[in-house]
Chains A and B, each alone.
Chain A
Amino acid sequence: MSFGYMNEGIKSNGSEPPPAQPEPQGAPQDEKRKSAAIESIQQLGTVSPPVPAESNIFCMTIIGQVEGHLILPPQNKTTKYEHMIPQLVAAEQNPKIEGVLIVLNTVGGDVEAGLAIAEMIASLSKPVVTLVLGGGHSIGVPIAVSGDLSYIAETATMTIHPIRMNGLVIGVPQTFEYLEKMQERVVRFVTSHSNISETTFKELMFKTGELTRDIGTTVIGADAVKHGLIDNIGGLGDALRSLNGLIETKRAAAPQPSSIDASVAAGIMAASSEVGLEGGATQ
């Protein structure tokens, strides 16, 4: 295509070399678009290829290990928190995004990073629905409860267990008190963002006999809802339906500047027609 275009240019200019061709700036693009359309007719049998409309929902996935201040060895599949944080900022700032769906399938990870993500999600002004698929373990628990509404798949599990002493010691004296404080942050976040009571959560956390090598509990789908940790059992359809519902509610509640302007203008018009222009001005 572009060769044909070049040849035409050479022909029209005689023997002169073709200039930089600044004037038909849009032409090659049009040509490209046209050829894409022709190609789509040939390939797909349709006039225009099916282009999905831009979604008003931002979907964020939290998978593998939540990576914090240290780069984990490459065998780990990680969620990089330094990318998630600005993503959430962008989602909050972007007027086209009206809701956020968080999909979790994580084995836990860094406490600081996990809590940072959870706090960011909790403080978003836009509706957020979280969905736990597969697993939302350890530090995934506060992230799972951080949204406005949480869902868990029937087969998904969540492991609630204490922060262990055998963490990697880097610079910080990880005394028992220190770890207990860290744990307290997680407990406080979870209990304040879900319907689970502190007693129940701690009971699950320190239960013995449930996990073979550790203390703690694995709650599966219905159990998570029974304990009040997660709001509902459901899958993608339910989560999206709820999110769209929340978006609608928010849209309805938000004042619409254009309609207010219109109603104010209508009110002024009505008042001025009733009592005359001067009267309308004084009212």
Chain B
Amino acid sequence: MTLHTIMPLELVLQGYGEEGEPMLDVTAKGIRMLVIPVAPGCGKIVRLLDCSLYDYLDPTLAPGSLITFGFE
């Protein structure tokens, strides 16, 4: 990995190597995704794991958006 950025690397990588937030592999809206839990049944999308192509165009499924999921 090579970073080509104007941001000082020490700032970009600050906290790198620390234990990241735990992620959950959940299914919401019929799509398997990785989320960072923020509350029970609610998480912030990290990435989609198994979905159809056009799901990527859905802004509600963009990484960083909140989603509710049930334990299916």
Contact = CB atoms under 8 A, between A and B. Distances in A.
B3 A111 contact: yes
B12 A72 contact: yes
Nearest to A60: B57
A36 to B, nearest CB: 19
A108 B7 CA distance: 8
A4 B46 CA distance: 42
A83 B48 contact: yes
Residue in A86, A107, A163, A172 whose Cβ sees the most chain B Cβ within 10 Å: A86
Interface residues of A, number: 45
B47 A75 contact: no
Given A73-B13, A73-B14, A110 B3 contact: yes
A84 B4 CA distance: 19
A94 B5 contact: no
Interface stretch (A62-70, A144-152, A227-235, A270-278): A62-70
A42 interface: no
A93 B62 contact: no
B2 A182 contact: yes
Contacts, number: 97
A91 B57 contact: yes
Contacts of A87: 56-57
22 contacts: A65-B12, A71-B20, A73-B12, A74-B15, A83-B63, A87-B57, A89-B56, A90-B53, A90-B56, A94-B54, A108-B5, A109-B5, A110-B2, A111-B4, A114-B4, A138-B5, A163-B2, A166-B9, A167-B3, A168-B1, A168-B3, A172-B2
Interface of A: 58, 65, 68-76, 80, 82-83, 86-87, 89-91, 93-94, 107-112, 114, 135, 137-139, 159, 161, 163-164, 166-168, 170, 172, 174, 179, 182, 186
